[in-house]
């Protein structure tokens, strides 16, 4: 990107990348992507724990335990683990690992931190989630008195990454090294 005079213009991201979404209500796509990532994380951890239990049982008893999604206790243990996962992270700082990656955070209606009680209520009502209204609140948000907002500008960061120039600007010619305080030369910046 050079002008006709041979000077390099400074790079500016497109206007959409300069627009900040921080503090705005999070949309369905961001919330859903964060939820899917959270499901992957919590399922992966659950499977690792089951594998550790199987390994320990096989070492101690010499028999393998065959886990199946048809076993009632496995389904109940997974549901309890999912409840603990979401309630813990929402109560801790309003962000699950998926929410942190996609830049969404759960806060109270007035923008405050979510208490443990609200996090538990939101987690219990979580399966009821349908997006409602102009604040993009799901039914579990209405019940718990929470909203989901963008906590960092993930969209602008993505757009800036995508709009990076492919070629670097030519380097400036080296300046002559003269003694500090010479006429016509300013002091170097700190």
pLDDT of 180 > 70? The answer is no
Q: What is the pLDDT of residues 3-23, one digit of tens each?
A: 555 666 565 544 544 455 566
Residue that wins the pLDDT comparison between 68 and 135: 68
| Rounded distance between C-alpha atoms, residue 110 and residue 1, angstroms | 46
pTM tops 0.85, yes or no: no
Which residues have C-beta within 8 Å of that of residue 64, sequence separation ≥ 6?
A: 54, 57, 58
Give the max Cα distance, the chain: 87
Number of helices followed by number of strands (H, E) in the chain: 7, 4
Angle between helices 116-125 and 72-92 (to 10 degrees): 140
| Rounded distance between C-alpha atoms, residue 28 and residue 133, angstroms | 12
Q: What is the pLDDT of residues 54-95, one digit of tens each?
A: 899 888 888 877 777 778 888 999 999 999 999 999 999 889
Going 12 to 15 to 17 to 22, the CA torsion angle's sign is positive
Q: What is the pLDDT of residues 99-129, one digit of tens each?
A: 989 888 888 888 888 888 989 988 888 887 7
């Amino acid at each position: 990107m050079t002008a006709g005079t041979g000077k390099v213009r400074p790079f500016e991201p497109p206007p959409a990348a300069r627009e900040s979404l921080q503090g705005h209500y999070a949309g369905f796509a961001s919330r859903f992507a964060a939820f899917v990532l959270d499901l992957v994380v919590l399922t992966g951890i659950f499977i690792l724990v089951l594998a550790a239990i199987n390994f320990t049982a096989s070492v101690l008893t010499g028999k393998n335990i065959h886990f199946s999604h048809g076993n009632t206790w496995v389904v109940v243990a997974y549901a309890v683990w999912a409840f603990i996962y979401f309630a813990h992270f929402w109560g801790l700082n309003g962000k699950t690992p998926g929410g942190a990656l996609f830049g969404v955070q759960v806060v109270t209606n007035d923008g405050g931190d979510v208490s443990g009680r609200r996090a538990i209520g939101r987690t219990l009502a979580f399966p009821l989630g349908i997006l409602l209204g102009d604040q993009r609140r799901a039914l579990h948000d209405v019940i718990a008195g929470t909203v989901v907002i963008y906590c960092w500008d993930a969209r602008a960061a993505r757009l800036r990454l995508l709009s990076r120039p492919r070629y670097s600007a030519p380097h400036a010619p080296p300046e002559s090294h003269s003694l500090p305080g010479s006429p016509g030369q300013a002091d170097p910046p700190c």
